[in-house]
Amino acid sequence: MSRIPSFMKSLALLTAFCAASIASAAIEVSDWGKTSDGKEVKLYTMTNDNGMVVKVSNFGAVINAIIVPDKDGNMADVALGFDEVSGYEADSCPYFGALVGRYGNRIADGKFTIDGKTYQVTKNENGITCLHGGKIGFNRKIWNVETKENDDAMILKCTLKSPNGEEGFPGNLDVIVHYILPKKLNSLVVLYGAKTDKATPINLTQHCYFNLKGAGADTITDHVLTINADKFTPVNETLIPTGDLRDVEGTPFDFRKPTAIGERIGQTDYDQIKLGNGYDHNWVLNKTENVVGKNSEKFLETPDATLYEPTTGRVMDVYTTEPGIQFYAGNFLDGTLIGKGGKAYQFRSGMCLETQHFPNSPNTPNFPSTILKPGEEYRTGTVFRFGVKED
């Protein structure tokens, strides 16, 4: 399967670093309650030299918090979520901070065919589509987590075994995800890997909801977004891509130049805005040569997307090996979910930038393949880099 080999070679150093045997040190591990069926849940806290904090749970490999400074040095948690694991376990949780799999995004009718055999997987979205891996996806599993650290970074190595037939997907799948927090840079690196003993679709992603003003702030519509993409994949009424690639030129989907999210999100006379109740679409990234440096002073070049919040000055650059990115503008948040600190998450108070292969790729031959076969190795990488922009 195509995974942009040149960039993946450049990730080899980080991957080797993750695989090395390094003693656990300053990463804080705390008890975080139990699941409804009595499984113990842990919360892992990584803090770098700049004060950036990333909290991850072994439940769902969920990112519970990302705490970064604004232009005045004030710290805030920019990731939506819950104070307790029960919030993430509830059916009402819209994948806050989740590690999504086996297949991020949608598969039409929950069906696909591999080598002449048709598979039926769980249709967990309105009984129509398979969304984010099915009813019990990777976001609801207890992951095995190991902690590692050296002079340059802190690492959480998260592993999971998904048995053949789980949610209807073929093959025994071994998954490994590394969350890496460099000590000198305010960046969160996410490296994904997997192997299978039977051909199967795979499309792992991180489903963090961001609000750069802070989790629980009113809206993300004033955030300024840039996406390095000339095309996107239009959808039908069930939010399944039609298979076409549509030019962003002259549409509300043109984010090639920095544009406030709220500037055109209300243009319901445009068919895709109406169908998605706003933005909930996959952009086809204009891929360039991304480079991981040999030291922590230079990660990647040419962001695939940039998010900027003017009042705080916070900036988040997104770099990925993936060919697409799903921009979801929190269209279905409605104030009923009570998040961290007792704050209600209102309409469009959070947004996602999910790096991915395209939705419904197993049923769309002209999309890049998401089929992983025995003997192959699934490897992708994404970096979320945080900074500030002065007035």
Residue 167 has pLDDT above 80, yes or no: yes
Q: Specify the pLDDT at position 302.
A: 83
Residue 288 has pLDDT above 70, yes or no: no
Residues designated catalytic: 207, 354
Span 377-391, pLDDT tens digits: 999 999 999 999 976
Closest CA to 171 of 391, 6, 378, 383: 378
The total of structural domains in the chain comes to 1
- Alpha-carbon dihedral of residues 130, 132, 134, 137, nearest 10 degrees? 170
Span 188-238, pLDDT tens digits: 999 999 999 999 999 999 999 999 999 999 999 999 999 999 999 999 999
In a domain, 389, yes or no: no
Q: Specify the pLDDT at position 24.
A: 45
pLDDT band at 300 (very low <50, low <70, confident <90, very high): low
Residue 332 has pLDDT above 50, yes or no: yes
- Show Cβ contacts of residue 280 under 8 Å, excluding neighbours closer than 6 positions: 235, 239, 326, 327, 328, 329, 331
Pairwise CA distance, residues 306 & 325, whole Å: 12
Q: How many CB atoms lie within 10 A of CB 275?
A: 17
In a domain, 185, yes or no: yes
**DSSP structure class, residue 358:** P
In a domain, 154, yes or no: yes
Alpha-carbon dihedral sign for residues 131, 133, 134, 140 = negative
In a domain, 61, yes or no: yes
Span 125-166, pLDDT tens digits: 999 999 999 999 999 999 999 999 988 999 999 999 999 999
pLDDT band at 76 (very low <50, low <70, confident <90, very high): very high
Residue with tokens 């991981």: 292
Which domain range does residue 162 map to? 5-384
Q: Specify the pLDDT at position 26.
A: 77
- Show Cβ contacts of residue 304 under 8 Å, excluding neighbours closer than 6 positions: 227, 228, 229, 285, 287, 318, 319, 320, 325, 355
Residue with tokens 């069906």: 111
Residue with tokens 């679709």: 201
Model's pTM, two decimal places? 0.92
With pLDDT > 70 as the criterion, what percentage of the chain qualifies? 90
In a domain, 37, yes or no: yes
Q: What is the CATH number of the domain that holds 116?
A: 2.70.98.10
**H/E run at residue 84:** none
In a domain, 95, yes or no: yes
Residue with tokens 């933005």: 279
Q: Which two tokens stand for residue 379?
A: 């490897």
In a domain, 391, yes or no: no
With pLDDT > 90 as the criterion, what percentage of the chain qualifies? 88
In a domain, 390, yes or no: no
Query: Is the separation of the CB atoms in 97 and 207 below 8 Å?
Result: yes
Angle at 6 between CA 5 and CA 12, to 5 degrees: 85
Backbone angles phi, psi at 25, to 5 degrees: -135, -105
